[in-house]
Amino acid sequence: MCIGNSCRSQMAEALARAYGSDVIAAQSAGLSPAMTIAPLTKRTMEERNVRMDGHFPKGVEMMLREKYDLIVNMSGQSLALPSVRIVEWKVPDPIGRTDDVYRGVAAQIEGLVMALILELRSS
C-alpha cells in the first residue's frame, strides 16, 4: 500500500509476483489512487525484466473487501486494521523525480520484498 498506487506499491506487487509467487499472493493499492501507473515505474520494472501486465491503480477500499494476513504500508500514514499484521516500509515516494531516484527506490523495494519472501519461506 502507498499513496497513489502508481509507483512504490506497484513495484512491490510486481517484484513479489515475480520472485515469491510460491508464498505471496500480492496485490497493491493506494490511499488516493492515481489515474495511471507512472511511466517511469513501468520503465524501471522493464529494466529489471519484471512484468507489470494487467497492473492498474486501485484504491484501498477495493482491497479491504478481502482478508489479508499481511499488509505492507509504504504510505507514511498510520494504518489500524484489526487482525492484520502491518509492516511499515519507509520508502521515499519517487513520483515526479528522476530515473535514478526510481531505480534507487526499486532497488530498495526489491531488497525488502526479497527479505519478506525469505521470512515467509522459512516460517
Per-residue pLDDT tens over the stretch 14-71: 999 999 999 999 999 999 999 999 999 999 999 999 999 999 999 988 777 788 899 9
d(CA 79, CA 94) in angstroms, rounded, equals 21
A 10 A CB-CB count for 74 gives: 25
How much is the pTM? Answer: 0.94
Domains delineated in the chain: 8-122 (3.40.50.2300)
Q: What is the pLDDT of residue 57?
A: 96
